[in-house]
Amino acid sequence: MKEHILILGGGVIGLSTAFSLSRRGYNVTILEKNSCGGQASGAAAGMLAPFSEISEDPDPFFKFCLDSLRMFREWQDEIKKISKSDFEYTESGSIHAVYHESDILSLESRIAWQKNFGSEAEIIDGDRLKSLEPNISDEVVAAIYSKEESHVFAPDYVKALKVACEKNGVTIYENLEDVHIKSWQQELVVQTTHGQSFTADRLVICSGAWTQQLESIFNIKIPVFPIRGQICAYELDNEKVNHIVTTSQGYLVPKSNGTLVNGASEDIAGFSTNVTEKGISRLIHWNKHILPFLKTKQPYHTWAGLRPATQDGFPLLGSLEESPHIIFATGHYRNGILLSPRTGEAVADLISGTPLDLYTKGAFHPERFS
Ligand code: FAD
Ligand code: GLY
């Protein structure tokens, strides 16, 4: 009999972990206090864009993101096949635009290190830029064109993942309201306010921005903080946007349903997912410098989600030294959708007996802050 694994949290990370474990034959149960995908994962823009998101250095986090990007095509095929649910996955490529000649040097150094990781990115301007992205502003002086970057429609992706998990035999409990870990050192017991009690061989913590609430239970430091992302979407008429377009001020992602997703703020607002006038107007104000046709449009939809940020920007991924049956997979901040396949497989490897050595020993260790 394979082990029974409990997963705390049914966002993209909990679902991907459950999916990876279930296809290796584990008996998996997800406990979700609200609804699967109802938090950050359902709010995401769905970019699979390590080159655009990580501009500075090829650190372990960048390598983690790149590996995950390169798993995505096969991964999403399998989820579609098993779930029989469709969701948008578009290998659109991306354009990262700059506005000043002096910024071109930083594009060049970015491209130089990215090439060492197989990137075919190039710097483009003038007619070539206009032919790829005809509506881009004339204020843009140059851009990095990355062919490899892609995107998914995150809410549909998460729904399909949930169906794929269920088809693979994962048991999912939602709307549990409060889920607490009653004991974990000897016997693992997790209880709900409705009086249900669960035991298992291992527990995987995938509770996103709420993970710090478990500090007193495990008696370790878990510096995971909610960073609110406010985001909006426009309905396009006949205007063409072909790629993900990013700038230092935000991003625009054209979806196959004819909408253009525009994100996102980064604010500290506790656990509030309210949308504010200030948060959205900053996005709207900047957009005319990217795609001038947006000057006359207003978003038809606004929303917000809580990214799980960590103190050093790296996720918490791995097991506790003294209690290897407790595993953390959280703190994916701006890249949890992108990182979902690699995280799911990493946790499944760990549980199957492969020690985790993610790029640099200890970089993602869950006890590194304690
Ligand atoms: P969540 O989706 O928040 O899931 C955690 C779940 O755990 C929640 O459902 C919660 O209810 C549950 N939970 C918490 N505590 C408990 C408990 N004690 N018991 C049971 N359940 C519990 N990433 C990308 O890769 N590309 C993007 O383009 C992108 N865009 C984004 C845009 C915005 C506006 C935002 C907010 C985020 C974006 N992200 C993006 C980041 C991405 O959404 C997150 O990194 C990812 O969703 C984190 O997944 P998660 O499963 O850890 O968290
Ligand atoms: N990765 C995009 C965001 O977090 O807003």
Helix orientation angle between 60-83 and 340-351, rounded to the nearest 10 degrees:
90
The answer to whether position 86 is within a domain reads: no
- Name the residue at shortest CA distance from atom 1 of ligand 2: 334
CA of 296 to the centre of ligand 1 (A): 32
- For residues 305 and 237, membership in a common domain is answered with yes
The model's pTM: 0.98
CATH label of the domain that carries residue 268: 3.30.9.10
CA of 3 to the centre of ligand 2 (A): 35
- For residues 184 and 124, membership in a common domain is answered with no
CA of 188 to the centre of ligand 2 (A): 35
Residue 46 Cβ inside 6 Å of ligand 1? The answer reads: yes
- For residues 119 and 141, membership in a common domain is answered with yes
Query: For the chain, what is the mean pLDDT?
Result: 95
Please give the number of the atom of ligand 1 that sits closest to the Cα of 13: 51
Domain encompassing residue 318: 4-76+154-224+312-361
The answer to whether position 230 is within a domain reads: yes
Per-residue pLDDT, 1: 66
The answer to whether position 83 is within a domain reads: no
What totals of helices (H) and strands (E) does the chain contain, helices first? 10, 20
Please give the number of the atom of ligand 2 that sits closest to the Cα of 335: 1
Q: How many residues does the chain have?
A: 370
Please give the number of the atom of ligand 1 that sits closest to the Cα of 304: 34
Q: Band the pLDDT of 236: cuts 50, 70, 90.
A: very high
For the stretch 204-217, pLDDT in tens is: 999 999 999 999 99
Per-residue H/E/C for 36-75: CCCCHHHHCCCEECHHHHCCCCCCHHHHHHHHHHHHHHHH
> Of the residues 6, 32, 198, 267, which should be mutated to test ligand 1's pocket, given the most ligand atoms within 8 Å of the CB?
32
Residues near 339 by beta carbon (within 8 Å), at least 6 away in sequence: 13, 64, 65, 68, 315, 332
On the question of a cis peptide bond just before residue 264, with omega within 30 degrees of 0, the verdict is yes
The answer to whether position 104 is within a domain reads: yes
- Mean pLDDT (whole number) for 254-267: 97
Residue 46 Cβ inside 6 Å of ligand 2? The answer reads: no
- For residues 258 and 184, membership in a common domain is answered with no
The answer to whether position 143 is within a domain reads: yes
CATH label of the domain that carries residue 54: 3.50.50.60
Placement of tokens 């062919």 in the chain: 147
- For residues 234 and 305, membership in a common domain is answered with yes
The answer to whether position 367 is within a domain reads: no
CA of 15 to the centre of ligand 1 (A): 11
- Mean pLDDT (whole number) for 234-246: 96
CA of 169 to the centre of ligand 2 (A): 31
- Name the residue at shortest CA distance from atom 5 of ligand 2: 264
- For residues 103 and 205, membership in a common domain is answered with no
Ligand nearest to the CA of 330: 1
- For residues 242 and 143, membership in a common domain is answered with yes
Please give the number of the atom of ligand 1 that sits closest to the Cα of 338: 25
Residue 9 Cβ inside 6 Å of ligand 1? The answer reads: yes
Count the domains in the chain: 2
- Name the residue at shortest CA distance from atom 2 of ligand 2: 334
Per-residue pLDDT, 359: 76
At which of 277, 292, 310 does a domain end? 310
For the stretch 23-66, pLDDT in tens is: 999 999 999 999 999 999 999 999 999 999 887 778 899 999 99
The answer to whether position 81 is within a domain reads: no
CA of 156 to the centre of ligand 1 (A): 14
- For residues 305 and 234, membership in a common domain is answered with yes
- For residues 198 and 332, membership in a common domain is answered with yes
Residue 307 Cβ inside 6 Å of ligand 2? The answer reads: yes
Ligand nearest to the CA of 48: 1
- For residues 303 and 174, membership in a common domain is answered with no
The answer to whether position 303 is within a domain reads: yes
- Mean pLDDT (whole number) for 145-171: 98
Per-residue pLDDT, 200: 97
- For residues 180 and 304, membership in a common domain is answered with no
Instruction: Say if residue 15's pLDDT is above 70.
Output: yes
Per-residue pLDDT, 368: 95
Residue 208 Cβ inside 6 Å of ligand 2? The answer reads: no
Percent of the chain with pLDDT over 90: 92
- C-alpha count within 13 angstroms, C-beta hemisphere, residue 170: 33
- For residues 32 and 53, membership in a common domain is answered with yes
Q: Band the pLDDT of 182: cuts 50, 70, 90.
A: very high
